[in-house]
Amino acid sequence: MASAFYRKTAKDIIPIEHEVSRYLGYTKANPPDNTVHTMIQEAITQMGLVLRPQAVYDTFPLTHTGIQTLQFAGLKLDSKDLSYNLQNCTHIVIFAATIGAQVDTLIRRAVASDSAKAAILQATGAMYIESFCDDFNAMITQEQKNAGHKTHPRYSPGYGDVPLAVQKHIFSVLQCTRIGLSLMDTLIMSPEKSVTAFIGIE
C-alpha cells in the first residue's frame, strides 16, 4: 500500500496555551506571570503564521509472535512495552508528522538573540506538533470506529524499551521526504518539531 498524506492549514491547529505553560514547567498552582503570559501569546501568534502541518502514514498487518515479539511492515521487533500497548491489535498505523522547517528557523533565530523567547518558542513548537498529532490521531480513530474497530494510544520510538533506531525502518517504509522530513545519522529528525509513532488497531 502506498503512503497516504494528511495535511492541515495552520488555522486548523488549535493552540493550547496552558500546554505551552506546562512544557515550560508552570502549573496551575504556579502559573506564568503577566510578562511570560504575554510572551507565550506572542509566540503562539508568531509560530501560527509559519506552521506547515503535514503527516504521512500507512496501515500494515500486525502479527504477535511469542510473548513480546511483533512483526509488521517487514520489521521484527522485541518489545514488552509496545507488545502490551498493541495487545489484541491486528493492524498498525505507522505515521510521521511535522509542523515544518519554518518553525525550526524561527526558533534558531531566537536562540541567537533572546534565550527566554527561544525557550518559549521551543515549548510552543512542542505544543503545536502534539496538537497536530492529536488531530491526526482523532481522524484515524474516527475512521476505525466507522469501520467497527478501535484504536490504542499512539506510541513513539524512543519511549520505554522501543529503541529510537526503529525510526530508520519507519523512514524506509513511509515517503517521509514528501513532507520535507529527513532522518539524520544521530536519529534526530529534521525539522526538529516532528513525531513518528504507531497506532494499534483492534
| 18-35 pLDDT, tens digit each | 999 999 999 999 999 999
Does residue 1 surpass a pLDDT of 80?
Answer: no
Residue 187, C-beta contacts closer than 8 angstroms, at least 6 positions apart: 164, 165, 167, 168
pTM score, whole prediction: 0.94
pLDDT at 2: 77
Does residue 67 surpass a pLDDT of 90?
Answer: no
Q: What angle do CA 123, 192, 170 make, to 5 degrees?
A: 125
User: Average pLDDT of the chain?
Assistant: 96
Q: Are 112 and 191 in contact (CB under 8 A)?
A: no
